[in-house]
Amino acid sequence: MTGALRVGIMGAGRMAQGFDAPGDRHVLSLAHAVTRCDGMTLGGFFDLDPAGAARAESRWGVPETPRARDAWLDADWDVIAIATPDSCHRDDLCDVLARRPGAVIVEKPLATDSRQAGELLGRAGELGIPVFVNFPRRHHSGVAEAGTAMGAGRLGRPLAAQFAYSGAPEHSAVHMLDLFHQWWGGEWSVRPAGSSDETVLLTFQRADECIAASFCRLPSDPYYLWEMSVLCEAGKVALTRSPEVLEVSTPAPHPLYETFSVLTPAMTFDMESEPLLSRLMDAVAATVGDQKKISDQLAREQASQQFSGAVLDQLVCATPSAQRAAS
C-alpha cells in the first residue's frame, strides 16, 4: 500500500479515544497514537451509541462516517482497531476479517474464549492479515533489555512466579502471560496444583524445568492491582507499584550484613515513560504489505495465545463459580 493508512476504530470509549485528548503530552489512547504515526491517518469511529461515535469524531477532528455497523465496516479501511467491550471482540474480529483490511489491532483479550481466539488467528493466517493484540509492554525498551539479560543466562532458570491482578483473568492476567511468554517462550504444559478462594496454583513444566505459579485475583474495586514477579536461580524480575516499575534484581552483598548475598535491583525501568502505543502503531504501519513481517507477527500472536489460552483455561476451571457448577 502507498500513502498513509486509513484507520477506523470500533468503539468510542476510554481506550479508543477517551483517556487523553488531541495535543496532550502523553499518548494514552488508540486514537491519539494513530494521529502521532506518520504512516497513518485517523478516519473515524463506530460505536453502538451513534452519539458517542459522533462526539469522538468531532473531538478528534475527523469527518463523519456511517453510523450503521455494516456500512461502517464496508468503508474500505486499511487498518481497523477493535476497542469494544471484551464480549464483543470475537464477533467484531470475525466481521473485520471478512472485510480483509491490511491489518487489525485488537484490545486484549482477543476473545473471551481461548479456543475461539485461536480459531480467529488461524483464519487471519489463511487470509494473510496481521493481527496485533494490544499488549503495549511488548514495546518497552526495558522489557527488551530484561529479555536480553534472561537470554544470556544472567538470571538462570525461572523457578516460581506470582501474578496478582484485579478483574477478570482474561482481561488482566493476559498481559502478564504475554510478558512471561516473551521472556521465557512457550511449550509449557500447564497443570492445576490447587486453589483457595480466588488464589489458583498452577505448574508450568517443560523438559527438566518446573515452575510453581500462583494467581491471585481481586475484585475490580476498590483499587486497581497489576503485579507480577518471577523468581529465578540467580535473580528476579518484577513489575510492581504505580506508576509501574520493572525491576531486574541479582545477588549482591547486603549493605549491613556483607556475608549475606541478597537480591538487589540491578536494572530499574519506568514503564510509563515511553510512548508504547505510538510504537505499536509504527509496528503496524511497517508490517502492512510485508509478507515476512505479516508471517512473523501472526506466528508471535499464535504462540502467545496458545500459552495464555492454556493458562486461562485452568484459571477459569479453578474459580469458585466453575467448581460450584461442576459439583
Q: Check: CB of residue 156 under 8 Å from CB of residue 234.
A: yes
* Contacts within 8 Å (CB) and 24+ apart, 113-118: 114/170, 114/305, 114/308, 114/309, 114/310, 114/312, 114/313, 115/309, 116/90, 117/90, 117/305, 117/309, 118/302, 118/305, 118/306, 118/309
Q: What's the pLDDT tens digit per position in 5-58?
A: 999 999 999 999 999 999 999 999 999 999 999 999 999 999 999 999 999 999
The Cα 94–Cα 72 span in angstroms is: 15
Nearest to residue 47, comparing CAs of 79, 22, 69?
A: 69
Is 294 a domain residue? Answer: no
> Cα torsion for 105, 108, 112, 114, to the nearest 10°?
80
Q: What's the pLDDT tens digit per position in 186-221?
A: 889 999 999 988 899 999 999 999 999 999 999 988
Q: Which of 65-74, 166-175, 228-237 has the lowest mean pLDDT?
A: 166-175
Is 325 a domain residue? Answer: no
The Cα 112–Cα 312 span in angstroms is: 10
Q: Are residues 285 and 241 in the same domain?
A: no
| Cell of residue 314, nine digits | 485452568
DSSP letters of 121-158? HHHHHHHT--EEE--GGGG-HHHHHHHHHHHTTSS-SE
The Cα 158–Cα 163 span in angstroms is: 14
At which of 226, 243, 274 does a domain end? 274
The Cα 51–Cα 81 span in angstroms is: 19
Mean pLDDT of 111-118: 93
pLDDT at residue 2, as a whole number: 60
Number of domains in the chain: 2
Q: Are residues 64 and 123 in the same domain?
A: yes
Q: What's the pLDDT tens digit per position in 74-102?
A: 999 999 999 999 999 999 999 999 999 99
Is 304 a domain residue? Answer: no
Mean pLDDT of 51-68: 98
pLDDT at residue 3, as a whole number: 84
Range of the domain at 81: 5-136+276-289
Is 115 a domain residue? Answer: yes
Contacts of 5 (CB under 8 A, 6+ apart): 39, 40, 41, 78, 79, 102, 103, 284, 285, 288
Q: Are residues 119 and 141 in the same domain?
A: no
Nearest to residue 204, comparing CAs of 240, 158, 239?
A: 158
CATH of the domain at 66: 3.40.50.720
Helix and strand numbers (H, E) in the chain are 10, 13
* Measured distance between the N- and C-terminal CA atoms of the chain, rounded to whole angstroms: 55
Q: Are residues 113 and 155 in the same domain?
A: no
Q: Are residues 270 and 280 in the same domain?
A: no
Q: Check: CB of residue 173 under 8 Å from CB of residue 147.
A: no
Is 270 a domain residue? Answer: yes
- 322: confidence class by pLDDT, cuts 50, 70, 90: very low
Q: Label the pairing between strands 226-232 and 209-218.
A: unpaired
Is 308 a domain residue? Answer: no
Nearest to residue 92, comparing CAs of 104, 77, 76?
A: 104
Is 161 a domain residue? Answer: yes
The Cα 111–Cα 122 span in angstroms is: 13
Mean pLDDT of 233-247: 97
Q: Are residues 128 and 156 in the same domain?
A: no
Is 62 a domain residue? Answer: yes
Q: Check: CB of residue 231 under 8 Å from CB of residue 240.
A: no
Q: Are residues 120 and 169 in the same domain?
A: no
324 pLDDT more than 50: no
Q: Are residues 101 and 117 in the same domain?
A: yes
Q: Are residues 146 and 269 in the same domain?
A: yes
Q: Are residues 142 and 269 in the same domain?
A: yes
The Cα 85–Cα 92 span in angstroms is: 10
Q: What's the pLDDT tens digit per position in 124-183?
A: 999 999 999 999 999 999 999 999 999 999 999 999 999 999 999 999 999 999 999 999
Q: Are residues 178 and 157 in the same domain?
A: yes
DSSP letters of 31-47? HHHHHH-TTEEEEEEE-
Q: Check: CB of residue 18 under 8 Å from CB of residue 9.
A: no
pLDDT at residue 326, as a whole number: 39
Sheet holding 103-106, edge to edge: 40-46, 5-10, 79-82, 103-106, 131-133
